Amino acid sequence: MTVQAEAVVDLDAYRSNVADLAAAAPGAAFMAVVKADAYGHGLAPVARAARDAGADWLGVATPDEALALRAAGDVGPVLCWLSAPGRDWAPLVEAGVEVTASSAQQLEEIAGSVRGRARVQLKVDTGLARNGAFGAQWPELLAAAARAQAAGRVEVTGVWSHLACADEPAHPANDAQEQRFAQAVEEVRAAGLDPGLRHLANSAALLTRSSVHLDLVRAGIATYGIAPGPGLDHDVDLRAVMTLRGRLAGVKDVPAGTAVSYGHTWTTERDTRLGLVPLGYAEGILRAASGRAQVAVAGRRVPQVGRICMDQLVVDLGDLPARPGDVVTLFGPGDEGEPAAEDWADAAGTIGYEVVTRLGGRIERSYRGD
C-alpha cells in the first residue's frame, strides 16, 4: 500500500457472494443491486463482476445510474426505479433499460416521451409507504398501463414491491405485504395485463423468506458481504468485499493525563502511544462513531479515541511498536483481526449500508480480482 488511505475492493469475494446468494434462491432470477456507485464499491468494476458471476439483472435507483451502466459497457437487463417528474425517457428506452412506473402520471410521462415501446415494470406500495402506487393510485396506474400498452407505447414486463421489515423476519408486516402483493398481482391480471416478472425480495428476504423469492430477487447489501441487519439467521457464508485502510501519518508517545482531539472528550489514563490516521469525516468516516470504534494495527485491535475530525482520527496504540507508515485497517473481512463494517455501524448507531455508501473524499479505490 503506497497511498495514504484506500478502499480495497475484492471482486473475487463479490463474485463468490453473488454466486452463493443466487444459489440460495434457485427458482428465481438474480438481480445484483449496484445503485449508489455499487454501495460505494465502484459501479463499473462491480457491474462487470456481477455479470461474470451470473447475475441476470442489474438494479439501480435512478435513470442516470442505468445510463452510467450502459456507458460502462454493460448490455444486459437493467431495471431502474426512482425518478422525479420531467425526465426524458427516450435515451433509457433506446438503451434497452427497463423502467419502473409508480403512478399513472409517471407511466404517462414514460409512454409520452418515447418513440418505440417502453418496457415498464409497475411498482405497487404494499406497505412501505415510500415509492410505489398506493391505494387508489394502483388501479389508476393499472388503467394507464393497459391504455398505453393497447396503444403500443409500453409493454408491461413486471410487477414489484419492496418490504419494510425484511430484516426482522418475524415482523407481521412481512406476511401482510406478501399477501397484499399476491392480491396486487391478481389485480394486474384482472386489468388485462400479464404481470411478467413478479419480485419482492431484497437481501434480507432472500436470506430468510423463500416464499417471497418469486420470479426474481434483488440483492444489494449481502452481495457486498455485509449483513442486512443484526442477528439474521441464514446459511449463506458471506465475505466482506471492502477493506478500508490507511497508513499512520504520525506516532507520538504521550504521558497519562493527555487529552485528545477536539473538545478533549477523552484523556489517556496511562503513558501510551497515539497513532494518527489520515481518514476523517470528509472521507465518510462516521463522526458519530467517535470513541466507540476500533481498528486493527499489526493484527491487533486498538481503540479509536477522541473525536473523529474532518481529515484525521487518533488511535490508542498502547505499547504496540507501531511506526509512521504502518498500515491501520478500519474494517474488512477480518483476516488481519480488523472489525467489520457492521462494527463501525454499531459504534455510530447506524447500519452497515451507511458505512460503505458514505465513503469518498480522498480515499483511493483499488481492486483485487478484476
Ligand X SMILES: *Cc1c(COP(=O)(O)O)cnc(C)c1O
Q: From the list 9, 159, 207, 219, which residue makes contact with ligand X (rule: CB under 6 A)?
A: 219
Distance of CA 110 to the CA centre of its chain: 27
Is 242 annotated as ligand-binding?
Answer: no
**Strands of the sheet with 197-201, listed across from one edge:** 78-80, 57-60, 29-33, 216-219, 197-201, 154-160, 118-123, 99-101
Q: Tell me if 228 contacts ligand X by CB under 6 A.
A: yes
Pairing state of beta strands 266-267 and 259-260? antiparallel
Decide: 322 and 275 in contact? Cβ < 8 Å.
Answer: yes
Q: Tell me if 132 contacts ligand X by CB under 6 A.
A: no
Query: Residue 210: what are its φ and ψ, rounded to 5°?
Result: -65, -20
Near ligand X by CB under 6 A, which window of 20-28, 198-206, 235-243, 334-342? 198-206
User: C-alpha cell of 52?
Assistant: 461474470
Q: Tell me if 60 contacts ligand X by CB under 6 A.
A: no
Pairing state of beta strands 272-277 and 259-260? unpaired
Q: Tell me if 81 contacts ligand X by CB under 6 A.
A: yes
- Report helix, strand and coil shares of the chain as percent, to nearest 5: 35, 25, 40
Question: Smallest distance, Å, CB 221 to ligand X?
Answer: 4
What distance in Å separates the CA atoms of residue 114 and residue 119, rounded to the nearest whole number? 11
Q: Tell me if 162 contacts ligand X by CB under 6 A.
A: yes
- Would you say 31 or 313 has its CB closer to ligand X? 31
Q: Tell me if 14 contacts ligand X by CB under 6 A.
A: no
Question: Smallest distance, Å, CB 161 to ligand X?
Answer: 9
Near ligand X by CB under 6 A, which window of 65-73, 214-222, 234-242, 296-304? 214-222
Decide: 333 and 243 in contact? Cβ < 8 Å.
Answer: yes
Decide: 307 and 262 in contact? Cβ < 8 Å.
Answer: yes
Q: Tell me if 45 contacts ligand X by CB under 6 A.
A: no
- Would you say 49 or 277 has its CB closer to ligand X? 49
- Would you say 17 or 329 has its CB closer to ligand X? 17
Near ligand X by CB under 6 A, which window of 67-75, 217-225, 322-330, 336-344? 217-225
For residue 147, give Cα distances in angstroms to 94, 111, 305, 327.
21, 10, 62, 61
Q: From the list 220, 246, 306, 332, which residue makes contact with ligand X (rule: CB under 6 A)?
A: 220
Decide: 22 and 207 in contact? Cβ < 8 Å.
Answer: no
What distance in Å separates the CA atoms of residue 231 and residue 167, rounded to the nearest whole number? 9
Is 87 annotated as ligand-binding?
Answer: no
How many residues are listed for the chain in this entry? 370
Question: Smallest distance, Å, CB 202 to ligand X?
Answer: 4
Q: From the list 33, 38, 107, 214, which residue makes contact with ligand X (rule: CB under 6 A)?
A: 33
168 to 197, contacts with ligand X by CB under 6 A? none
Q: Tell me if 46 contacts ligand X by CB under 6 A.
A: no
Question: Smallest distance, Å, CB 107 to ligand X?
Answer: 18
Rounded to the nearest 5 degrees, what angle is found at the Cα of 350, between the Cα atoms of 345 and 354? 80
* 123 labelled catalytic: no
Near ligand X by CB under 6 A, which window of 176-184, 200-208, 276-284, 337-345? 200-208
* 35 labelled catalytic: yes
Q: Tell me if 273 contacts ligand X by CB under 6 A.
A: no
- Would you say 106 or 312 has its CB closer to ligand X? 106
- Would you say 6 or 178 has its CB closer to ligand X? 178
For residue 290, give Cα distances in angstroms to 199, 247, 341.
40, 19, 15
Q: Total number of residues binding ligand X (CB under 6 A)? A: 14
Binding residues for substrate: 130, 310
What amino acid positions are annotated as catalytic residues?
A: 35, 262
Positions touching ligand X (CB under 6 A) are 33, 35, 61, 81, 162, 202-204, 218-222, 228
